[in-house]
Structure 1
Amino acid sequence: MFEGRPDRSAEVVFCGRSNVGKSTILRELTGHDFTTGKKPGVTRSPGHYDWVSEDFVLTDLPGFGFMSGVPEEVRETIKTDVVHYIEDHADEILVGVLVLDGKSAVDIIDRHADRGEVPHDVELFHFLQDVGIPTVVAVNKMDKVDDHDERLNAVCDRLGLPSPWQQWQDTVAPVTAKRGSITPLTEAVRTHLHDQRRDDLLKFF
């Protein structure tokens, strides 16, 4: 089980498969370098970024799903720990950000669905909603996608959100973190913080 969470009553968590760009997004938000690696599964425990004077923390949860060279039981443990972390801190988590790789997410989801499995991404999206956490899906690496609208509609479809994607701008945020293009994400997070009367936290986004 993960340990070492700062004692903060407000939190925004970032979760998703390995190598989808969670740490890059957090670096854009904070200017702080999170542990990243070319090798999936480098992050095995949460990374926390908190402000000493503020009752608020950003959390980078470990990536889940297939990781080359990582045994299946380790992958399952990480996924279970992520779910438990979210469940245990649901009251403090103001927004959950699920990061997808815009280029590969639809194919990965379909591959699992075709095998009769519930894809982790879809499962986590519904889980966040089930525990009452406002959720933003950051569809990253959109610079590698040609048919933006078609791809975002397909992502919405897989998550059970009727297209067109444009009606879900508080939920679906196309970004390219490597190029510093994360405005749709920050705007969506700000909307959810405002809705929860936490305008004091808008300065972080």
Structure 2
Amino acid sequence: MFEGRPDRDAEVVFLGRSNVGKSTLMRELTGHDFTTGRKPGVTRSPNHFDWAPESFMFTDLPGFGFMKGVPESQREQIKTDVVRYVESNADDILAGVLVVDGKSVIDIIDRHSGPDEVPHDVEMFYFLDDIDVPAIVAVNKMDKVDDRDERLDDLCDRLGLYPPWQQWQETIAPISAKRGSIGPLKEALRTHFHDAKRDDLLKFVS
């Protein structure tokens, strides 16, 4: 179980598979460089970036799913820890940002969909919904995607949201973190902060 969570009463958590660009996105949002390893699965415990006066923090949770060279038992443990962390702190979490790779997410979801299998990304999306944490899907690396609208519509379809994706702008945020293009995510976060009556936090996503 993850230890040492700062005592903050408002939090945004970032979840996602390894190598989808969560750390780059955190750097873009906070201006703070998080040490990321060259290997997937290097982030094994949460990275918190917090502000004491506002009692607020962004938390980058360890990547889940397949990681080369990481035994399955360890991968399962990481996922369990991530789920437990979000569950135990759900009352303080204003939004859960599920970061996916826009280029490969549809293929990954389809490859892992079967009668007895729910793909991790879809499972996490429903899990956030179940515990009443507003979910935002940050669809990263969109600069590498040609059929943008079609890809985003397909993603909505896989998540059980009716296309077109444009009607889900507080949930689906196409971004390119490496290029600093994260406006749709900030916009979605502003909506959720406002809904939670936390306009004092809007400056962190302006």
TM over 0.5: yes
Amino acid aligned to 1:106: I
Tell me, in whole angstroms, the C-alpha distance in 2 between the residues paired with 1:137 and 1:183. Answer: 13
Tell me, in whole angstroms, the C-alpha distance in 1 between the residues paired with 2:18 and 2:128. Answer: 18
Amino acid aligned to 1:146: D
Length-normalised TM-score, structure 2: 0.98
| Alignment pair present for 1:101 and 2:125 | no
Give 1:34-53 correspondences, 5 Å limit.
34-53=34-53
Q: Secondary structure of the residue that 2:75 maps to in structure 1? A: helix
Tell me, in whole angstroms, the C-alpha distance in 1 between the residues paired with 2:2 and 2:142. Answer: 31
The corresponding residue for 1:136 is 136
Q: Please report how far the alpha carbon of residue 117 of structure 1 lies from its aligned counterpart in structure 2 after TM superposition.
A: 1.0
Length-normalised TM-score, structure 1: 0.98
The corresponding residue for 2:152 is 152
Q: Secondary structure of the residue that 1:65 maps to in structure 2? A: coil
Q: Please report how far the alpha carbon of residue 52 of structure 1 lies from its aligned counterpart in structure 2 after TM superposition.
A: 3.0
The corresponding residue for 2:68 is 68
Deviates more, 1:106-115 or 1:192-201: 106-115
Tell me, in whole angstroms, the C-alpha distance in 2 between the residues paired with 1:116 and 1:168. Answer: 28
Q: Please tell me the root mean square deviation across aligned C-alpha atoms, in Å.
A: 0.9
Tell me, in whole angstroms, the C-alpha distance in 2 between the residues paired with 1:174 and 1:37. Answer: 25
Deviates more, 1:78-87 or 1:33-42: 33-42
Amino acid aligned to 1:117: E
Structure 1, unaligned runs of 5 or more: none
Deviates more, 1:22-31 or 1:115-124: 115-124
Q: Please report how far the alpha carbon of residue 114 of structure 1 lies from its aligned counterpart in structure 2 after TM superposition.
A: 3.9
| Paired-residue identity, % | 74
Runs of 4+ aligned residues of structure 1 deviating over 2 Å after TM superposition are: none
Tell me, in whole angstroms, the C-alpha distance in 2 between the residues paired with 1:39 and 1:20. Answer: 12
Matched residue pairs, number? 205
Q: Are the counterparts in 1 of residues 54 and 201 from structure 2 also a CA contact under 8 Å?
A: no
